[in-house]
Each structure stands twice: as C-alpha cells, then as structure tokens.
Amino acid sequence: MDKRIGIVGIVIEELSFVNRVNEALHEHANLVVGRLGLPYKERGVSVISLIVDGTNDEISALTGKLGRIKGVSAKSMITKSMKNN
C-alpha cells in the first residue's frame, strides 16, 4: 500500500484526557513528521496539528484511536496518492 502525506487536526475539549492523547500519539510516533500543539486557554481547549506520513490504514488507525477518547475530536486530510520513496 502506498504511503501518503497528511494532516491530522486534534481538538481536546476534556483536558483530563490529554495523557491518553499523548499515549496514542506515542504509539503511532513512526507516522508523525511534525507536531504543533497550542493551549487555547480562553476557550478551555488544546489544539494539536500533526503532519503525518503513512499508509491510509495507519493514519486512519491513529485518528480512530484518538476519536474514541472522550472529549477529543480528530480529523485527517491526506493526499490522494503518494509513491513510496
């Protein structure tokens, strides 16, 4: 299966579950090319954006795991196709 480059956006509304988010990201660290996390104190949330490189299944597994955490939303956008290099 071809690898793809993508972006994963994560919004954490239940800050008590930040550790579970970090655990999930650690489990899939091989996919993460870059990470930017910002606490948005005025709104009481944290926002994380990831640049990822992996197969569609790998990226979907990450976003699915994140989306199953209470108070966490995760969405991905990936390239249509990318050849292995």
Give Cβ neighbours of residue 56 (< 8 Å, ≥ 6 apart): 1, 4, 78
Residue 75 in this model has a pLDDT that exceeds 80: yes
Determine the pLDDT at residue 40: 96
Q: For 3-78, CATH number?
A: 3.30.70.1150
Tokens of residue 16, six digits: 């008590």
Determine the pLDDT at residue 1: 72
Rounded to an integer, what distance in angstroms lies between the CA atom of residue 56 and that of residue 54?
Answer: 7
Q: What is the pLDDT of residues 7-49, one digit of tens each?
A: 999 999 999 999 999 999 999 999 999 999 999 999 999 999 9
Question: Of 39, 70, 54, nearest to 62 (Cα)?
Answer: 54
Determine the pLDDT at residue 82: 62
Residue pointed to by tokens 């050849």: 83
Are the CB atoms for 15 and 49 separated by under 8 Å?
A: no
Determine the pLDDT at residue 83: 60
